[in-house]
Amino acid sequence: MSEITTTEIAPTIQLTQHQIDCYHRDGYLALDAITTQAEVAWLREIYDRLFAQRAGRDVGDQFDLAGTDEEGQEATLPQILGPSKYAPELKQGLFRANALAVARQLLGPEAQAHGEHAILKPARIGAETPWHQDEAYWNPMLEYNSMSIWIPLQDVNLHNGCMQFVPGSNHQEIVPHHPINNDPRIHGLVADQAHTEGAVACPLPAGGATIHTNRTLHYTGPNHSDQPRRAYILIFGTQAKRRTEPRSFYWNENKTTARDQRAEEARRNEEQQPM
Ligand code: NI
Protein backbone atom coordinates (compact mmCIF):
# COMPACT_ATOMS: atom_id res chain seq x y z
CA MET A 1 0.00 0.00 0.00
CA SER A 2 2.95 2.30 0.59
CA GLU A 3 6.46 2.70 -0.70
CA ILE A 4 7.74 3.92 2.64
CA THR A 5 10.54 1.66 3.84
CA THR A 6 10.88 0.51 7.40
CA THR A 7 13.52 2.53 9.11
CA GLU A 8 16.59 0.90 10.66
CA ILE A 9 16.77 3.38 13.53
CA ALA A 10 15.94 1.84 16.92
CA PRO A 11 12.87 3.33 18.63
CA THR A 12 13.35 5.15 21.93
CA ILE A 13 9.72 5.15 23.03
CA GLN A 14 7.43 2.61 24.66
CA LEU A 15 3.84 3.25 25.77
CA THR A 16 2.71 2.19 29.24
CA GLN A 17 -0.30 -0.11 29.66
CA HIS A 18 -2.18 2.89 31.05
CA GLN A 19 -1.54 4.89 27.86
CA ILE A 20 -2.64 1.94 25.72
CA ASP A 21 -5.87 1.58 27.73
CA CYS A 22 -6.60 5.33 27.51
CA TYR A 23 -6.09 5.25 23.74
CA HIS A 24 -8.59 2.43 23.24
CA ARG A 25 -11.11 3.99 25.62
CA ASP A 26 -10.93 7.63 24.48
CA GLY A 27 -9.75 7.23 20.87
CA TYR A 28 -6.76 9.51 21.26
CA LEU A 29 -3.52 9.94 23.15
CA ALA A 30 -1.07 12.83 23.54
CA LEU A 31 2.71 12.33 23.89
CA ASP A 32 5.15 15.04 24.98
CA ALA A 33 7.97 13.79 22.74
CA ILE A 34 8.12 11.42 19.78
CA THR A 35 11.42 12.80 18.53
CA THR A 36 14.29 15.11 19.48
CA GLN A 37 14.45 18.90 19.12
CA ALA A 38 17.39 18.49 16.71
CA GLU A 39 15.24 16.31 14.46
CA VAL A 40 12.35 18.79 14.69
CA ALA A 41 14.67 21.54 13.42
CA TRP A 42 15.75 19.28 10.52
CA LEU A 43 12.12 18.40 9.69
CA ARG A 44 11.06 22.05 9.72
CA GLU A 45 13.67 22.98 7.16
CA ILE A 46 12.53 20.26 4.76
CA TYR A 47 8.87 21.03 5.45
CA ASP A 48 9.21 24.74 4.70
CA ARG A 49 11.18 24.01 1.54
CA LEU A 50 8.50 21.63 0.19
CA PHE A 51 5.73 24.17 0.71
CA ALA A 52 7.84 27.03 -0.71
CA GLN A 53 8.58 24.95 -3.82
CA ARG A 54 4.92 23.93 -4.06
CA ALA A 55 6.12 20.33 -4.26
CA GLY A 56 3.54 17.99 -5.80
CA ARG A 57 1.19 20.79 -6.91
CA ASP A 58 1.30 19.70 -10.59
CA VAL A 59 0.20 16.14 -9.84
CA GLY A 60 -2.49 17.00 -7.30
CA ASP A 61 -0.41 16.11 -4.22
CA GLN A 62 -0.33 19.72 -2.97
CA PHE A 63 -3.62 21.58 -2.63
CA ASP A 64 -5.77 23.75 -0.40
CA LEU A 65 -7.81 21.62 1.96
CA ALA A 66 -10.16 24.49 2.88
CA GLY A 67 -10.67 26.41 -0.39
CA THR A 68 -11.42 25.97 -4.07
CA ASP A 69 -7.69 25.80 -4.80
CA GLU A 70 -7.67 27.70 -8.08
CA GLU A 71 -4.36 28.91 -9.48
CA GLY A 72 -3.32 32.29 -8.06
CA GLN A 73 -5.56 32.00 -5.00
CA GLU A 74 -3.80 32.01 -1.64
CA ALA A 75 -4.27 28.71 0.19
CA THR A 76 -5.41 29.03 3.80
CA LEU A 77 -4.89 25.33 4.57
CA PRO A 78 -2.27 23.93 2.18
CA GLN A 79 -1.62 20.20 2.35
CA ILE A 80 1.02 17.92 0.78
CA LEU A 81 0.21 14.22 0.34
CA GLY A 82 3.23 11.92 0.59
CA PRO A 83 5.89 14.54 1.43
CA SER A 84 8.64 11.86 1.43
CA LYS A 85 8.05 11.41 -2.32
CA TYR A 86 9.45 14.92 -2.70
CA ALA A 87 12.13 14.67 0.01
CA PRO A 88 13.27 11.02 0.29
CA GLU A 89 15.42 11.83 3.34
CA LEU A 90 12.13 11.94 5.27
CA LYS A 91 11.93 8.13 4.97
CA GLN A 92 14.55 7.97 7.71
CA GLY A 93 14.44 9.49 11.14
CA LEU A 94 13.71 8.75 14.77
CA PHE A 95 10.20 10.23 14.46
CA ARG A 96 9.29 7.49 11.99
CA ALA A 97 10.88 4.67 14.02
CA ASN A 98 9.07 5.82 17.16
CA ALA A 99 5.78 6.28 15.32
CA LEU A 100 5.95 2.72 13.96
CA ALA A 101 6.78 1.33 17.41
CA VAL A 102 3.80 3.15 18.93
CA ALA A 103 1.51 2.02 16.08
CA ARG A 104 2.50 -1.61 16.64
CA GLN A 105 1.81 -1.33 20.37
CA LEU A 106 -1.66 0.06 19.68
CA LEU A 107 -2.72 -1.86 16.54
CA GLY A 108 -0.65 -5.04 16.74
CA PRO A 109 2.68 -6.20 15.34
CA GLU A 110 1.34 -6.37 11.77
CA ALA A 111 0.70 -2.58 11.63
CA GLN A 112 2.35 -0.90 8.64
CA ALA A 113 2.81 2.62 7.33
CA HIS A 114 -0.21 3.51 5.17
CA GLY A 115 0.64 7.05 4.17
CA GLU A 116 1.64 10.48 5.36
CA HIS A 117 0.81 14.11 4.81
CA ALA A 118 1.74 17.60 5.88
CA ILE A 119 -0.84 20.24 6.81
CA LEU A 120 0.31 23.84 7.11
CA LYS A 121 -1.63 26.68 8.69
CA PRO A 122 0.04 29.86 7.40
CA ALA A 123 0.67 32.62 9.97
CA ARG A 124 -2.47 34.68 10.77
CA ILE A 125 -4.56 33.34 7.84
CA GLY A 126 -4.37 29.58 8.55
CA ALA A 127 -7.94 28.25 8.48
CA GLU A 128 -9.62 25.87 10.88
CA THR A 129 -9.85 22.16 10.02
CA PRO A 130 -13.50 21.47 10.80
CA TRP A 131 -14.73 18.57 12.94
CA HIS A 132 -14.46 15.30 11.02
CA GLN A 133 -13.61 11.62 11.16
CA ASP A 134 -10.71 10.62 8.88
CA GLU A 135 -12.47 7.48 7.64
CA ALA A 136 -15.11 9.71 5.99
CA TYR A 137 -12.52 10.44 3.27
CA TRP A 138 -11.80 6.77 2.56
CA ASN A 139 -13.31 3.78 0.75
CA PRO A 140 -16.77 2.96 2.18
CA MET A 141 -16.39 -0.68 1.10
CA LEU A 142 -13.53 -1.30 3.53
CA GLU A 143 -13.31 -1.85 7.28
CA TYR A 144 -10.31 -0.02 8.71
CA ASN A 145 -8.14 -0.45 11.75
CA SER A 146 -5.82 2.51 11.53
CA MET A 147 -4.50 5.61 13.23
CA SER A 148 -2.93 8.98 12.53
CA ILE A 149 0.11 10.22 14.44
CA TRP A 150 0.09 14.01 14.28
CA ILE A 151 3.44 15.67 15.00
CA PRO A 152 3.65 19.48 15.46
CA LEU A 153 6.96 21.04 14.38
CA GLN A 154 6.54 24.01 16.75
CA ASP A 155 4.73 24.35 20.04
CA VAL A 156 0.95 24.19 19.55
CA ASN A 157 -1.90 25.58 21.64
CA LEU A 158 -5.43 26.94 21.12
CA HIS A 159 -4.01 30.16 19.64
CA ASN A 160 -2.29 28.51 16.66
CA GLY A 161 -4.36 25.37 16.06
CA CYS A 162 -3.57 22.44 18.33
CA MET A 163 -5.56 19.20 18.04
CA GLN A 164 -8.92 18.76 19.77
CA PHE A 165 -10.74 15.45 20.21
CA VAL A 166 -14.11 14.18 21.41
CA PRO A 167 -13.28 11.40 23.89
CA GLY A 168 -15.13 8.18 23.12
CA SER A 169 -16.19 9.27 19.60
CA ASN A 170 -13.98 6.44 18.29
CA HIS A 171 -16.72 3.99 19.27
CA GLN A 172 -19.29 5.36 16.80
CA GLU A 173 -19.84 4.64 13.09
CA ILE A 174 -18.97 7.26 10.50
CA VAL A 175 -21.50 10.10 10.79
CA PRO A 176 -22.68 11.93 7.63
CA HIS A 177 -20.22 14.56 6.36
CA HIS A 178 -20.36 17.32 3.73
CA PRO A 179 -17.70 19.40 1.96
CA ILE A 180 -16.69 22.68 3.64
CA ASN A 181 -19.28 25.39 2.69
CA ASN A 182 -21.23 22.58 0.97
CA ASP A 183 -18.98 23.34 -2.01
CA PRO A 184 -18.09 20.21 -4.02
CA ARG A 185 -14.95 22.00 -5.29
CA ILE A 186 -13.50 21.92 -1.77
CA HIS A 187 -11.63 18.82 -0.60
CA GLY A 188 -12.10 19.27 3.16
CA LEU A 189 -15.02 17.55 4.92
CA VAL A 190 -17.16 18.58 7.89
CA ALA A 191 -19.24 16.27 10.07
CA ASP A 192 -22.92 17.29 9.61
CA GLN A 193 -23.85 17.29 13.27
CA ALA A 194 -20.79 16.74 15.38
CA HIS A 195 -21.58 16.28 19.05
CA THR A 196 -18.52 18.01 20.43
CA GLU A 197 -19.50 18.51 24.07
CA GLY A 198 -16.62 17.48 26.29
CA ALA A 199 -14.02 18.03 23.55
CA VAL A 200 -10.45 18.07 24.84
CA ALA A 201 -7.71 20.33 23.47
CA CYS A 202 -4.16 18.96 23.38
CA PRO A 203 -1.52 21.71 23.54
CA LEU A 204 1.91 20.18 22.90
CA PRO A 205 5.58 21.07 22.62
CA ALA A 206 7.31 20.85 19.23
CA GLY A 207 8.14 17.21 18.50
CA GLY A 208 5.30 15.89 20.65
CA ALA A 209 2.47 13.92 19.06
CA THR A 210 -1.21 13.19 19.25
CA ILE A 211 -2.54 9.84 18.08
CA HIS A 212 -6.14 9.24 17.00
CA THR A 213 -8.15 6.44 15.42
CA ASN A 214 -9.81 6.53 12.00
CA ARG A 215 -13.16 7.22 13.74
CA THR A 216 -12.22 9.75 16.43
CA LEU A 217 -13.88 13.15 15.88
CA HIS A 218 -11.18 15.83 15.75
CA TYR A 219 -10.66 19.51 14.96
CA THR A 220 -7.95 22.16 14.83
CA GLY A 221 -8.71 25.88 15.10
CA PRO A 222 -7.39 28.72 12.94
CA ASN A 223 -3.81 29.94 13.33
CA HIS A 224 -4.01 33.38 14.97
CA SER A 225 -0.26 33.49 15.63
CA ASP A 226 2.51 35.25 13.70
CA GLN A 227 4.26 31.96 12.91
CA PRO A 228 3.24 29.13 10.60
CA ARG A 229 1.70 26.10 12.30
CA ARG A 230 3.28 22.99 10.81
CA ALA A 231 1.98 19.48 11.39
CA TYR A 232 3.45 16.28 9.93
CA ILE A 233 1.07 13.32 10.01
CA LEU A 234 1.93 9.63 9.67
CA ILE A 235 -0.83 7.06 9.09
CA PHE A 236 -0.52 3.42 10.16
CA GLY A 237 -2.89 0.50 9.94
CA THR A 238 -3.42 -3.19 9.63
CA GLN A 239 -4.69 -4.56 6.31
CA ALA A 240 -8.18 -3.14 5.67
CA LYS A 241 -10.88 -5.80 5.25
CA ARG A 242 -13.86 -5.83 2.90
CA ARG A 243 -17.01 -4.85 4.81
CA THR A 244 -19.93 -7.22 4.89
CA GLU A 245 -22.41 -4.38 5.44
CA PRO A 246 -22.48 -1.88 2.57
CA ARG A 247 -22.54 1.86 3.29
CA SER A 248 -22.50 5.02 1.22
CA PHE A 249 -20.15 7.97 1.63
CA TYR A 250 -22.31 10.02 -0.76
CA TRP A 251 -20.49 13.21 0.29
CA ASN A 252 -17.46 12.12 -1.76
CA GLU A 253 -19.35 11.14 -4.89
CA ASN A 254 -19.98 14.56 -6.44
CA LYS A 255 -16.65 16.13 -5.62
CA THR A 256 -14.98 18.05 -8.44
CA THR A 257 -11.79 19.46 -6.97
CA ALA A 258 -9.04 21.31 -8.84
CA ARG A 259 -6.68 18.87 -7.17
CA ASP A 260 -8.39 15.86 -8.78
CA GLN A 261 -8.27 17.63 -12.15
CA ARG A 262 -4.51 18.20 -11.82
CA ALA A 263 -3.96 14.57 -10.78
CA GLU A 264 -6.07 13.35 -13.73
CA GLU A 265 -4.18 15.58 -16.16
CA ALA A 266 -0.82 14.37 -14.84
CA ARG A 267 -1.92 10.74 -15.30
CA ARG A 268 -3.03 11.45 -18.89
CA ASN A 269 0.29 13.16 -19.70
CA GLU A 270 2.19 10.22 -18.30
CA GLU A 271 0.21 7.77 -20.43
CA GLN A 272 1.03 9.81 -23.52
CA GLN A 273 4.79 9.58 -22.91
CA PRO A 274 6.45 7.43 -25.59
CA MET A 275 7.79 4.16 -24.16
NI1 NI B 1 -8.24 14.39 10.19
User: From ligand 1's centre to the CA of 130, what distance in Å?
Assistant: 9
Expressed in angstroms and rounded, the spacing between residue 230 Cα and the centre of ligand 1 is 14
The whole-model pTM stands at: 0.94
Q: How far is the CA of 14 from the centre of ligand 1 (A)?
A: 24
Query: What is the 271 CA–ligand 1 centroid distance (Å)?
Result: 32
**Ligand 1 center from residue 211 Cα (angstroms):** 11
| Exposed/middle/buried for residue 107 (C-beta within 10 Å: 0-12, 13-18, 19+) | middle
Please write the tens of the pLDDT for every residue from 166-179: 999 999 999 999 99
Beta-strand ranges (E) seen in 124-169 are 129-132, 142-143, 146-152, 163-165
Element containing residue 105 per DSSP (H, E) = helix 94-107
Which are the contacts of 136, defined by CB distance < 8 A and separation ≥ 6?
174, 175, 177, 189, 191, 249, 251, 252
CA of 138 to the centre of ligand 1 (A): 11
What rounded mean pLDDT belongs to the chain? 94
Residue type, 27: G
* pLDDT, tens digit (0-9, with 9 covering 90-100), for 222-238: 999 999 999 999 999 99
270 pLDDT above the threshold of 90: no
Quote the ligand 1 centre to 164 CA distance (angstroms): 11
Residue 91 alpha carbon to ligand 1 centre in Å: 22
48-52, 152-156, 231-235, 251-255: lowest mean pLDDT where?
251-255
CA 100 centroid distance within chain: 15
The domain limits of the chain are 1-109+138-148+156-191+223-266
Q: Domain 1-109+138-148+156-191+223-266: what homologous superfamily?
A: q2cbj1_9rhob like domain (2.60.120.620)
Is the pLDDT confidence value at 119 over 90? yes
Percent of the chain with pLDDT over 90: 89
Residue 148 CA to ligand 1 centre (angstroms): 8
Distance from the alpha carbon of residue 127 to the mean position of ligand 1, in angstroms: 14
CA 134 / ligand 1 centre spacing (Å): 5
What radius of gyration do the chain's Cα atoms show?
Answer: 18
Ligand 1 center to 263 CA (angstroms): 21
Residue type at 165 in one-letter notation: F
C-alpha of residue 272 to centroid of ligand 1, in Å: 35
Query: What's the 228 CA to ligand 1 centre distance in angstroms?
Result: 19
Distances (CA, A) of 85 to 236, 250, 262: 17, 30, 17
CA of 218 to the centre of ligand 1 (A): 6
220 alpha carbon – ligand 1 mean position (Å): 9
pLDDT beyond 70 at 275: no
Dihedral over alpha carbons 185, 186, 189, 191 (to 10 degrees): -70
d(CA 150, CA 212): 8
Amino acid 1: pLDDT: 44
Question: What integer pLDDT is reported at residue 2 of this predicted model?
Answer: 47
Other CB atoms within 10 A of residue 213 CB: 27
